[in-house]
């Protein structure tokens, strides 16, 4: 489905939050004099309130967006009650954010232990930080969609809308699927897809965009060595899987990928 003006305004507002939060956290990390324990504690005191404020802003924007979508379907305003503490902070992962945001420092120190020079080690730590922040901001969106849509009976499913300048294969394939609103939409670190609620009188089945799947045949052939225009030799539902990550919930991946721990996510290449 095409993006509407409402979708575009909402998407732009959320991207603005991402840009601000990512910029401020990245600068704070790179501007440290050192990356020892005392510096890590000072860093977290500075940036955790920024990240939490970003999550709350994303959650508030998402709730307002869903209210407007429902108004267009139901014909009347429907205000929803949202406890921001349930869709931000520790609620997203079940882990204290102070523990989560120690990980960029561990990444940096591990790199130094492997003999990497300081500049490269800082880059690795900064990349880990960026991945964590992006994931948390997207989780605040998906958790809000699940909580708010629960009180909107005319919404039946959620779908993924691509909105980035460049979209990865995981997101493109996932955009052809429908998801039940009671479930968290699967993400991957760095995913910025729009989660849209839809009304349906019947279950359309998992695949809702056959045209896009058709265009993906050649790419799938490159990845798995075969393709089938009739969709029988290659089952796309088996190529794209949602691995259950113990900390952040369902995470998009390709069949055969596995997680070794809560903190070790296999990123697609």
Q: Which domain holds residue 171?
A: 5-254
Question: How many domains are there within the chain?
Answer: 1
| Residue 80, phi then psi, degrees to nearest 5 | -115, 150
- For residue 266, is it within any domain? no
- For residue 159, is it within any domain? yes
- For residue 265, is it within any domain? no
pTM for the structure as a whole:
0.72
pLDDT digits (tens, 9 = 90+) for 213-264: 566 656 666 665 654 444 444 454 455 445 555 565 655 555 554 444 444 4
Compute CA distances 155 → 71, 221, 239, 252, whole Å: 11, 36, 28, 23
pLDDT digits (tens, 9 = 90+) for 128-168: 999 999 989 989 988 898 888 777 766 767 677 666 554 55
- For residue 152, is it within any domain? yes
- For residue 269, is it within any domain? no
Cβ atoms within 10 Å, residue 38: 9
Extract the tokens encoding 262.
């809560």
Q: At what angle do helices 118-149 and 5-30 cross, to 10 degrees?
A: 150
Q: Is residue 123 scored above 90 in pLDDT?
A: yes
At 269, the pLDDT band (50, 70, 90 cuts) reads very low
Per-residue pLDDT, 259: 46
pLDDT digits (tens, 9 = 90+) for 169-199: 566 666 666 666 565 555 556 666 767 676 6
- For residue 262, is it within any domain? no
Coil, strand or helix at 29: helix
In what helix (H) or strand (E) does residue 41 lie, and over which residues does it extend? helix 37-74
- For residue 245, is it within any domain? yes
- For residue 259, is it within any domain? no
């Amino acid at each position: 489905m095409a993006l509407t003006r409402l979708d575009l305004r909402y998407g732009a507002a959320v991207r603005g939050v991402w840009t601000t939060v990512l910029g401020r956290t990245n600068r704070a990390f790179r501007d440290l004099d050192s990356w020892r324990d005392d510096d890590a504690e000072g860093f977290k005191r500075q940036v955790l309130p920024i990240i939490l404020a970003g999550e709350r802003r994303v959650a508030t924007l998402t709730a307002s967006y869903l209210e407007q979508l429902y108004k267009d379907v139901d014909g009347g305003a429907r205000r929803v009650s949202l406890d921001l503490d349930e869709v931000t902070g520790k609620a997203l992962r079940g882990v204290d954010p102070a523990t989560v945001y120690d990980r960029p420092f561990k990444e940096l120190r591990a790199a130094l232990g492997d003999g990497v020079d300081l500049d490269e080690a800082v880059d690795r730590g900064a990349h880990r930080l960026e991945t964590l922040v992006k994931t948390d901001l997207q989780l605040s969106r998906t958790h809000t969609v699940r909580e708010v849509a629960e009180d909107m009976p005319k919404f039946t499913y959620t779908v993924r809308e691509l909105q980035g300048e460049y979209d990865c294969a995981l997101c493109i394939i996932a955009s052809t699927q429908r998801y039940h609103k009671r479930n968290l939409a699967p993400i991957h670190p760095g995913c910025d897809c729009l989660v849209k609620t839809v009304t349906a009188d019947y279950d359309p089945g998992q695949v809702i965009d056959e045209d896009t799947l058709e265009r993906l045949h050649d790419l799938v052939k490159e990845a798995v060595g075969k393709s089938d225009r009739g969709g029988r030799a290659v089952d796309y539902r088996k190529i794209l899987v949602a691995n259950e990550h113990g900390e952040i919930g369902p995470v998009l991946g390709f069949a055969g990928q596995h997680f070794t721990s809560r903190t070790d996510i296999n990123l697609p290449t």
